[in-house]
Chain A
Amino acid sequence: MNTTKPEAPMLETRDLSRAFGHGDHMVRAVDRVSFSMQTGEIVAVVGESGSGKSTLARLLLRLLDPTGGQILLHGQDVTTLHHRGELKTYWQKVQGAFQDSFAAFNQFYTVRRSLEKALNVLDVSLSKSDRTQRIETSLREVGLDPADILDKWPHQLSGGQLQRVMIARALVVGPELLIADEPTSMLDASLRVTVLNLLLDLRKSHNMSILFITHDLGQANYLSDRILVMYRGELVEQGPVEQVLADPQHEYTQRLLADVPRLRGKSGVPA
């Protein structure tokens, strides 16, 4: 991109807004949200249900048009992109993973077909062997054996496996930024940790940036560098994790932290 400025952050939003409905019934799901993210950063967006977290994810993935404000990727305004061709270029850099992995896959497609479809956002058409190689590499990266999984249908996989396939689907195009919208909230505690560790590994190996959306402050604490707190569509607080959790400034953040259940009587952090 010619317009890339060296000093521009990887991702930036300026007064990003999305309203639904009109007049008295208008809901400002995302209300003038401004933040930025650097390459390789993991930023958590936390808030209760209905705070606008998922709408923010959909806006950033350009699956939903904003009603105000801008999204800038490396300093370039991407809110003006509309044609599928233009958006394809954007999706090569920004990919998503979602909460309900059973709903995110076409149940009549095998894993192989779903992942091949994901490659369609690339400009070049790859040879058959290149495609297969990319798919197999990304499956291995998420800890799955391609031979074992490629010809399976979604219903034959467990929730944890499907969640990994979804992350692999994002990885096949080699994105710079992964928007992960509650990717672990349908998983059990023991599996949740392995998916979070996978995200940490991806940051380490690819210097990938991750916007991690969650309602669980414990996961945000474990995973992220910075936290954004959303409340009724507004970004009410942001800062480094240790600062926000130890010394919350906004009244809502304080209340949220007070209500998070702690494991009582735990003796220490097991290795």
Chain B
Amino acid sequence: MIVKNVKAYYVSGSGPDVKAVDNVSLSILEGEIFGIVGESGCGKSTLASVMSLTAGRTLKVKDGEIILNGQSLPLTDRSRVPKEWHGTMVALLPQRAMNSLNPTARVRDLVIDVMHAHHPEIRPADAVERARERLEQLGLPVRVLESYPHQLSGGMRQRVIAVISTLLNPHVLIADEPTSALDVSSQRQLIVLLQQLLEHQFISRIVYITHDLPMLSNFADRIAVMYAGKIAEIGPTVEIVGRPKHPYTQALIGSTLDLDPRLRGSQVKGIPGAPPDLRYPPGGCRFHPRCPHVMNICSIEEPPAIGTEERFAACWWVKDQVDKLSVEGAAS
């Protein structure tokens, strides 16, 4: 799956557009869990809605294209999205998914609706049978089919929705903060289920969007770090966590609190300042007002992506470091 040059702005009646996603390109490999991490307002959920073809009316996709399974789809015109793309090509797993569902309908009714939307000829009993099989394969209790949403725990609801939204074996599942409302134990269970879905090849790849870097680092193959509508850094998980290059990634990891006993009594630093207003993003690098390594050029020119498409950081300071190293290397 390739996502190319996505530009998505929220248009307000008066005043400038909110540049929530600005020129983001990603390629997601088959069989991989690709993580996108960032703080509130960095545009990660906007990107999720664009990628899952569920963007709302106020969001204007100015540019962008998805190439998936050999088919290409321009994102700029939502009316041209073919129906088959929803559910069979791309599926979405949002936060608190079942809270937005009809509380008077049973899970089996939802299954019938979903299957019927794509296969009008399917008999309700067959649709339910398919879901039953799927639940059995994944080791989930089949009795949930007869339940109403309120009879299931929050964690079970998310797992059931994950199964139903992948009944049609989509090529990609976009998971937008699916575990944010869950406690740690339910979080882990949902992650295990998502991994099972990949192993059984019910889905081909997962894009997992979250603000929780420690959790993501436990199952993502690669991670993209977003800041203020742009990709700051991209790389394999061990690289991002163990050898972060971008000052923002470094600060993000530096302010992570886990169970390390060495943290106790140490003074962990946060990142000073706040993320920018995306109506008026700062010139040059959008992180420069908060960056500890800021240089003159950072406020003037947009930083180049240093590295390869698979492993880069968009930062002048990183470029400086690399240039110095290569000069030293040439001198010795």
Task: Give residues in A with beta carbon < 8 Å to B.
Answer: 48-49, 158-160, 188-194, 196-197, 215-219, 221-222, 241-242, 245-246, 255-257, 259-267, 269-271
Contacts and interface: CB of A to CB of B under 8 A. Distances in A.
B86 interface: no
B327 to A, nearest CB: 26
Interface stretch (B117-125, B235-243, B314-322): B235-243
Given A49-B183, A260-B184, A262-B218, A189 B260 contact: no
Contacts of A48: 183-185
A245 B258 CA distance: 11
B290 to A, nearest CB: 9
A160 B39 CA distance: 13
A193 B187 contact: no
A190 B271 contact: yes
Contact of A221 (B253, B255, B263, B271): B263
B254 interface: yes
16 contacts: A48-B184, A190-B270, A191-B271, A196-B257, A215-B183, A221-B264, A261-B218, A261-B258, A263-B258, A265-B238, A266-B258, A267-B242, A269-B260, A269-B262, A269-B266, A270-B250
B259 A270 contact: no
B236 to A, nearest CB: 10
A263 B216 CA distance: 8
A256 B251 CA distance: 27
Nearest to A160: B274
B185 A263 contact: no
A190 B292 CA distance: 14
A263 B254 CA distance: 11
Contact of B269 (A160, A193, A242): A193
A269 B263 contact: yes
Interface stretch (B49-57, B207-215, B294-302): B207-215
Given A197-B267, A264-B217, A267-B242, 17 more contacts: A48-B184, A49-B154, A159-B40, A189-B256, A193-B257, A221-B259, A242-B261, A242-B264, A259-B185, A259-B188, A261-B215, A263-B213, A263-B256, A265-B241, A269-B260, A270-B254, A271-B266
B156 interface: no
Contact of B217 (A241, A265, A271): A265
Contacts of B267: 197
B252 A189 contact: yes
Contacts of A197: 267-268, 270
A218 B255 contact: no
